[in-house]
A and B are shown apart, each in its own frame.
Chain A
Amino acid sequence: FPGAGGGNDIQWCFSQVKGAVDDDVAEADIISTVEFNHSGELLATGDKGGRVVIFQQEQENKTQSHSRGEYNVYSTFQSHEPEFDYLKSLEIEEKINKIRWLPQKNAAQFLLSTNDKTIKLWKISERDKRPEGYNLKEEDGRYRDPTTVTTLRVPVFRPMDLMVEASPRRIFANAHTYHINSISINSDYETYLSADDLRINLWHLEITDRSFNIVDIKPANMEELTEVITAAEFHPNSCNTFVYSSSKGTIRLCDMRASALCDRHSKLFEEPEDPSNRSFFSEIISSISDVKFSHSGRYMMTRDYLSVKIWDLNMENRPVETYQVHEYLRSKLCSLYENDCIFDKFECCWNGSDSIVMTGSYNNFFRMFDRNTKRDITLEASRENNKPRTVLKPRKVCASGKRKKDEISVDSLDFNKKILHTAWHPKENIIAVATTNNLYIFQDKMN
């Protein structure tokens, strides 16, 4: 197993699991996004019920050197509510599609959360002191009879139990006709983009009544629609550069300095396809469900139904690395089309040093690919493996032929147990993996 061999391989251990144990999952509890903040101290989740839960890592305890701090609930709030657009007869889900953190500038934390139509900027602040000793008010807030006041005192701040408050500071609404799939904060920390199926808008974080349309792929005649935008992200360092991916498996890199409307790409990334391999499923499985720049900004990673691809921004004609996530599903495409699983949108993420990439699969499996050693591992997020500091056992799927002991056959996989959302701590080997309604935190084994 990868863990047993080379000294540098990570040994993953279960750390925590959040959420209900029961199998009967309410729709509202389905986790729809997971995101660490820039320091990794905070971990946010969004769900189908429009709620955000933020966890905070405990300060490291010097006596507990065998594990890093645990994540405990820090704040939770209702970010979005369900709405009905009567004019368009359109039901607007409250599901949180994405959360993106702003880098911390002062004592408060800020994040952007979005559903299909509206983006909100939330401020999360701590209150640990309160003023006491008012002259005209009692401690419980009732007003004192002024005639009973005989002396004056100066109110002072006294410590109180920590209270974490979330308040919506900006609401960015009415800019998207179609469903928002991505938000991305620019490296200038002043602007951000939001992308729906056909358009991308640029916003200033301070301005809610105006946004600039920077990409529009809506055809004049909707009958001619062949492609939609599936994800978009700003470059981590170049504030003028962003990319967007499509349902046809292409990625376009745009430079906002070139023109106001970036309909013409600066670069088009596409892997040529052998026409003799084409099938009914080809386009569907080539649809890119996620695109993420490496921290360095030199590479970007895309996720399509069966694979993860790493692209060098300097090479448009093919990816530099391709990793098969679950190639054994290729011979199951018919049933995966019938049960709609073929349309599942898996996300992917980089570790802090860009040496390992991770993505989810079915049966609550998730996969990691080490770009340096070229080794990969399959792990499972399950309550059966939840003994802290016990190294997780790698899983293996048997595609065909004789199934070895401990292997799982493709037909036994549970396609209702999907891991669509994973996140990697920006600095440490700590990962957050979301199953349908539970959040797992794994850490590497510290010596």
Chain B
Amino acid sequence: MAAPLGTGTRTEEPGQEKQDAQEKEIAPPERAEEAKLKAKYPNLGQKPGGSDFLMKRLQKGQKYFDSGDYNMAKAKMKNKQLPSTGPDKNLVTGDHIPTPQDLPQRKSSLVTSKLAG
């Protein structure tokens, strides 16, 4: 069955009234979703949704380990235990200093791909 016009192509410029009606249809779902998100996360910045994501994208792969910090902390806290990571090992927060054990071990894929099996 041929797809109805609304979900298919729009090759011609629709009449102004029709366009307004379509926009009214389209705007509310997105705005409603935005309201939902802001209700859940009131601290969500005024910046458009892209920017935080951009910085996160550029930072992909960053795994911080500073041997200087690590050894200083070890020396300072000779008798005390180093604070350990919480459940999320990728999140480095507060007093925790990444330790070599926290860095996920990277293994190369020595196994043949299952697509070739």
Contacts and interface: CB of A to CB of B under 8 A. Distances in A.
B10 A322 contact: yes
Contacts of B6: 324, 327
A322 B33 contact: no
B109 A78 contact: yes
A81 B64 CA distance: 20
Given A78-B108, A92-B61, A281-B30, A376 B50 contact: no
B114 interface: yes
A274 B23 contact: yes
Nearest to A21: B114
A322 B9 contact: yes
A332 interface: yes
Contacts of A274: 23
Contacts of A47: 113, 115
A437 interface: yes
B72 interface: no
Contact of A82 (B37, B44, B106): B106
Contacts of A333: 29-30, 33-34, 37
A287 B53 CA distance: 11
A315 interface: no
B8 A226 contact: no
B9 A323 contact: yes
Interface in A77-110: 78, 81-82, 84, 88-94
Contacts of A343: 53
Contacts of A197: 57-58
26 contacts: A2-B2, A19-B114, A19-B117, A20-B117, A49-B109, A50-B108, A51-B113, A53-B115, A76-B112, A76-B116, A82-B107, A89-B64, A179-B61, A225-B51, A225-B55, A227-B54, A228-B54, A228-B58, A277-B30, A280-B34, A280-B49, A321-B9, A321-B11, A327-B6, A330-B26, A333-B29
Identify the 9 closest CB pairs spanning chains A and B, nearest first.
A49-B109, A331-B29, A283-B50, A333-B33, A82-B106, A334-B36, A20-B114, A334-B33, A76-B116
Interface of A: 1-2, 5, 18-20, 28-29, 31, 45, 47, 49-51, 53, 73, 76, 78, 81-82, 84, 88-94, 116, 178-179, 197-198, 225-228, 247-248, 274, 276-277, 279-284, 287, 320-324, 327, 330-334, 337-338, 343, 369, 371, 374-376, 437, 439
